[in-house]
């Protein structure tokens, strides 16, 4: 009797453990998630463009479980003096949030902040003369703010 009872209890428990183990493995992000994250948080224009394309098609990247949420430029204006900095702020948020979730934020903060500054300068490159100078000055201020307070 004891053997039958033990088998009756053990078998469903093993099946349940197998199902839960499989579900956990299926819910895990792909192994190359750190490499993809790194490729989207570099200072280059190609890195920015790859991130922007992925952001526009987030569902294609759902298995990676990235945090795409953003508050843009936080408490600073998203478009100071008319300069459209909101996309740069969104990519900066992406880097911060995903590296914090991965537990590797401090090792990557400086690069994420530098990528932010490069993104801002690319915005400013669309201007000329005094407007470009004003944009670059604003970009420098935003960069210093995240470098110190981010």
Q: Tell me: the pLDDT tens digits for 30-67? A: 999 999 999 999 999 999 999 999 999 999 999 999 99
Same domain, 55 and 114: yes
Find the CATH number of the domain harbouring 50: 1.20.90.10
Q: Tell me: the pLDDT tens digits for 88-115? A: 999 999 999 999 999 999 999 999 999 9
Measured CA to CA in angstroms, residue 139 lies from 64, 108, 124, 128, 135 at distances of 31, 20, 8, 15, 6
Q: What total number of domains does the chain contain?
A: 2
Residues forming the active site: 92
Consecutive H or E run containing 33: helix 33-39
Percent of the chain with pLDDT over 90: 81
CB of 142 within 8 A of CB of 85? yes
Q: What's the pLDDT score for residue 24?
A: 54
- Say how far apart CA 122 and CA 143 lie, in whole Å: 13
Domain span at 108: 31-149
Same domain, 22 and 35: no
CB of 139 within 8 A of CB of 121? yes
């Amino acid at each position: 009797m004891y053997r039958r009872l033990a088998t009756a209890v053990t078998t469903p428990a093993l099946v349940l453990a197998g199902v839960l183990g499989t579900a956990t493995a299926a819910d895990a992000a792909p192994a190359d998630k750190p490499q993809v994250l790194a490729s989207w948080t570099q200072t280059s224009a190609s890195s920015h463009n790859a991130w922007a394309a992925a952001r526009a098609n987030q569902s294609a990247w759902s298995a990676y479980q990235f945090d795409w949420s953003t508050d843009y430029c936080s408490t600073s204006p998203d478009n100071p003096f008319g300069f459209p900095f909101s996309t740069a702020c969104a990519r900066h948020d992406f880097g911060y949030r995903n590296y914090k979730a991965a537990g590797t934020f401090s090792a990557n903060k400086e690069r994420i902040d530098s990528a932010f500054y490069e993104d801002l300068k690319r915005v400013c490159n669309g201007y000329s003369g005094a407007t470009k100078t004003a944009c670059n000055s604003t970009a420098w201020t935003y960069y210093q703010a995240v470098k110190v307070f981010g």
